[in-house]
Chain A
Amino acid sequence: MRTILGLIVVILFAYLGSALFRLRQLPTMLQALISSGLGFFGLGLVLGPHVIALIDAPILSQWDLLLNLGVGWVGLLFGLQFNRQDLEQVPARHYWGALTETALTCLLTGAGLGLMIWFMPLLSPAWILVPALALIASTTSPTTGAQMQIKLAVRGPVHDLLRFLSGVDAVPAIVFLGALICFAPGHPAKFGPALDGLYWLGVCLALGLVLGALAHLLTLYHYTDNQLLVIVLSLVLFGGGAAHYLWLSPLFVNFIVGLVLANRSPIRIRILRSLILVEKPIYLILLTLAGAMWNPPPLAWLVLVPAFILMRMAGKILGGWLAFRVADLGTQSGLSLGSGLLPHGGMALVLGLSFQQIYSGPLGDLVVSTAILSILVATLIGPWSLQRLLIREGEAS
C-alpha cells in the first residue's frame, strides 16, 4: 500500500515540478523557491518514516553512505574552485572584506544565540550549537546572484563583489566546523582533550592531503568522461567514508582533496565539469534524504530558530556594509549593501548535515531544522532584496 502511495506522491511531485517549470513569468520568490530544491526536502519528508514510510528507518540506515556522498561531493566541488592562479587575480582587500563579513556574521549570531542559551537554562545542553550555527550563518548562497545575472543581465562592481563574497565566505565555515568536529567527544583519549583535538585535526589534514595526492595520481591518465565520473565518485565516497569512519568531517576532508586537485591536477576543469554534470541529481538526492531523515527537534529549542534568522540577517547586513568599506568600492549605498548577502542555500544545509553526522540526536536535528528554515526564509527574502539593491545601484533595470 505504501509503495502505491509512494508512487502517487512521486508522480504528483514530478508533475507539479514540471508544471511549475513550464510556467513563465513566475514571481522571483517562487522561482527561487523552486530552484532551491526545497520541494525535494518536502518529498523526502512525505516518503520518510514520519508520513508514508516508503523510505523507512532500515533503508535510511543503509543509505547513510549516500549522505556521505552528497556532503563529500559538495566539499570536493567547492575545493576545486580555489585555484591559486585564479585567486591571485582578486585584489587582497576583497579577501579582507570577505573575512570581515564572515567574522562579523559569526560573532553576532554566536553572541545572540549564546546569550539566549545563557538566560534560558532549558537550552543549556545546546552549547555546542553556538559555534556550529554561527558558522552556518556565515555562508551565503551564490546561486541567487548567478540567477540574477542571467535574468536581469546584471553587470557592475557591486554585483561582482557580492558574487565574490558569496563564493568564498563558506571557506571559514567548512574549515572551522571541520576543526570543531575534530574536538568533538567520541575520539579515543590519547594525550588529553586539547591535544587529542589537535591530533585528530592533524589526521584530518593528512587524510585530505593523502587522498588529494592519490586523486592527483589517478587523474594523470586519460579517461573517458564516464570513467572520470567513476573515479570522482569513488574518491568522494572513500574520502567521505574514511572521514566518517574516523569521526571527522567528510565535508572538510573532501574540501582539502578538492584544493589539492585544483592546484595540482592538469585536468582540473574536466573534473569540475564532470562534478557539475551530476551535481544537481546528487544535491536533490541529498535533499530528499535529508527530508526523510528529518526529525523535529525539542519544541523549546525551536525558539533559537527565529533568533538565528534575525541575528544572521543583522550580521549579514552589518558585515556586508563593512566588507564594502574594507574592499574600498566607493559606493554610497550604506547599510543596504549587506542585504545583497541574505540568500542562504545548499552549503548551509550541507554544513548542518555534516554536523548531524557527528551529533545525531536532537542537537543535530535542531541544526538541520534551523538551516532548512533559514534557507526557506532567505529564499523568500534574498532574491527580492538583492534585486532591489542592484536596481538601486544602477547595475540592473
Chain B
Amino acid sequence: MRLMLLGLLLLLMFWLQALHVNLPENLDASIGIIFGFLLLAGFLLGEILARLSLPRITGYLFAGIFCGPHLLGFVDATVVEHLQLVDKLALVMIAYTAGGELKLANLRKRARGILTIVLIQSVAVFVATGGVLVLCREWIHLFQGLSLGQISALAAILALIATANSPSTTVAVIVETRARGPLTDTVLGATVIKDIVVLVCFSLLMVVAMPQFAHEESLVEVASVWQNISEVGLSLLCGAAFGGLMILYLRFVGKQTVLFVVGSAFLLMSSADTFHLDALLVAVMAGFVVSNFSRQGKSFLFGLERASGPVFIIFFCLAGASLDLSVLTLHWQTILLYIVLRTLFTWLGTGFGAFLAQEPTPVRRHAWTGFIGQAGISLGLAVLVRVNFPGPGAELANLVVGAIVINQIIGPIAFRWALIRTGEGVKA
C-alpha cells in the first residue's frame, strides 16, 4: 500500500511537471514543491524500509538518490544549492542533538574507553589503509605516473579521510532506535571526538603533503594549521557561551521551545559564518552545555525531538541527492579496495581498542558498526583535496565520494542492527 502511495505521489509529480507554468519567479516556486515532495517520498520510503527492518535514514538517502540528478532528475544542482540554507540549518539541529545526547556522567564513565578506541582505531585505519594503498600502487590508477613521495602523500590523505565518520548518521540511528547504553554512548562520544581530531590532523597532513606537489604553498599551510586549531578551540568556547545564553532563555522565558530551537539554530549558523567558526562544533558544544548544565535540558531535547523528523528526512534526502553516482563506475576496483580496507581496519582497531580499555562485550563486538557511516566532513575534505591538488585531486575526490556512497548505505544498516542486537535500541 505504501509503495502504491509512493507511485501515486510520483504520478502526481509528473502531472504537475506537465502542467508547469513558465513564470520568471518559478525557480523559487519549484523549490517549494520539491521540498514537499522530498519530505513525503523520504518519509514513505523510510517507512517501507523500516518494515523491512532497515533504518529509516537509508530510505531517506534512497529517496534523495532516486530524485537526484542521476535518476529522476527532480532535484538538480540548482535546487540543492537553493536548499543549502535548510541543509545547514538541519545540520546545526542534528549537531544540537549530538551534543544533547552526550551525557557528562556517561562520558566520565566511558572516557577511557572512548579515548582508547579513538586512538587505536584511528591509528590502525590510518597506518594500515595508507600502507596497503602504497603497497598496491602499481594497480591503482590514481597513483600512475607519480613519485613515491607524492603517492605516499595522497595515500595518507585517503587514509586520514577513511578515519572520518558521520556524527549526523550516528545521531539519526540513535534517535530512531531510541538507543541507550554503553555501546550508544561510546560510539556517539568517539564519533564527535574523531571529527575534531580529523579536522586538526587534516590541516597537519596538508602541511606535509602540499610540498610534494607545490613547495611554495607550505608556509601558508603552516599558518593554516594554527588557524584551524584556534578555530576548533574558539568554536568550542563560543558553543559553551551560546549554550549559556540558551539556558538563560529556557530558564527565564521557557516558551515556544520548538520555535526557539529553530530560531537559535538559524542564529548560530549566521554567527558561525560571520566569525569563521565551525557551526557543527559550536552546536555540539551548545547542545552539550544545555543538556548537562541546566535543568531545562529535557525541554530542550523535547523541542529538538519534535523538530527532528522533518530535519532528518530533508537532511539525508539532500545528502542522497548530492551524491554523484557516476563516480561509482569509474575506478570501482580502487573504491572497493578502499572500502574493504577501511571496514576491515575499523573492525580490528575498534575491537582491539575496546579490548585494551576493558569495555563490555557489546562494545568490543559491535562498536565498529557505528564507525562505517561517512558523510559531511569526508565530503568537505574531498572538496578541499580537489581544490588543493589540481590533477590527482579530482580523481582522489571522486574515489572518496564513491566510497561515501557505499559507506553511507551500509553504515546506518549495520549500526541499527548492532543497537537492536545488543538490546540498546528498539525497532521503532
Contacts and interface: CB of A to CB of B under 8 A. Distances in A.
Interface stretch (A154-162, A227-235, A303-311): A227-235
Contacts of B310: 230, 233-234
Given A226-B309, A245-B29, A237 B21 contact: no
A360 B8 CA distance: 33
Given A54-B270, A229-B309, A21 B256 contact: no
Given A188-B21, A234-B310, A18 B255 contact: yes
B222 to A, nearest CB: 30
Contacts of B23: 186, 247
Interface stretch (B33-41, B142-150, B284-292, B410-418): B33-41
- Residue with the highest number of chain B CB atoms closer than 10 Å, among A15, A21, A218, A226: A218
Given A65-B32, A230-B313, A241-B29, A14 B249 contact: yes
Interface residues on A, range: 35 or more
Nearest to A360: B25
B298 interface: no
A42 interface: no
Contact of A245 (B32, B249, B305): B32
- Residue with the highest number of chain B CB atoms closer than 10 Å, among A14, A226, A241, A360: A241
Interface stretch (B12-20, B330-338, B371-379): B12-20
Interface residues of B, number: 54
Nearest to B19: A246
A240 interface: yes
Contact of B5 (A61, A210, A214, A233): A214
Contact of B36 (A17, A18, A207, A242): A242
B32 A280 contact: no
Given A18-B252, A230-B43, A64 B9 contact: no
A244 B29 contact: yes
Contacts of B326: none
A7 B39 contact: no
Interface string B235-274: 0000000000100010011011011001100010011001
A65 B28 CA distance: 8
Interface string B269-310: 011001100000000000000000000000000000110111
A229 B306 contact: yes
B267 A10 contact: yes
A89 interface: no
Contacts of A14: 249, 253
A188 B197 CA distance: 57
B421 interface: no
Contact of B40 (A18, A62, A227, A238): A238
A92 to B, nearest CB: 37
A11 B263 CA distance: 12
B302 to A, nearest CB: 11
Interface in A311-338: none
Contacts of A201: none
Interface string A267-286: 00000000000101100110
A297 interface: no
A339 interface: no
B31 interface: yes
B33 A244 contact: yes
A302 to B, nearest CB: 26
Contacts of B5: 214, 217-218
Contacts of B34: 241
A226 B36 contact: no
Given A186-B23, A238-B39, A62 B263 contact: no
Interface string B79-115: 0001111100000000000000000000000000000
Contacts of A238: 33, 36-37, 39-40
Interface in A185-201: 186-188
A214 B309 contact: no
A11 B249 CA distance: 8
B36 A239 contact: yes
B29 to A, nearest CB: 5
B361 interface: no
A227 B43 CA distance: 9
A324 B89 CA distance: 51
B329 interface: no
Contact of A7 (B19, B86, B267, B313): B267
B30 interface: yes
A257 to B, nearest CB: 12
A144 to B, nearest CB: 21
Contact of A6 (B31, B37, B270): B270
B38 to A, nearest CB: 9
Interface of A: 2-3, 6-7, 10-11, 14-15, 17-18, 21, 54, 59, 61-65, 68, 186-188, 203, 207, 210-211, 214, 217-218, 221, 226-227, 229-231, 233-242, 244-247, 278, 280-281, 284-285, 360
What are the 6 tightest A-B residue pairs by CB atom distance, in nearest-first order?
A238-B36, A241-B32, A241-B33, A237-B36, A234-B39, A281-B259
Given A3-B274, A230-B39, A245-B26, 15 more contacts: A21-B255, A62-B85, A64-B29, A65-B32, A214-B8, A234-B36, A234-B39, A236-B36, A237-B35, A237-B39, A238-B40, A245-B29, A245-B32, A246-B21, A284-B259
13 contacts: A3-B270, A3-B271, A6-B267, A226-B306, A234-B39, A237-B36, A241-B36, A241-B37, A242-B16, A242-B36, A245-B16, A245-B20, A280-B259
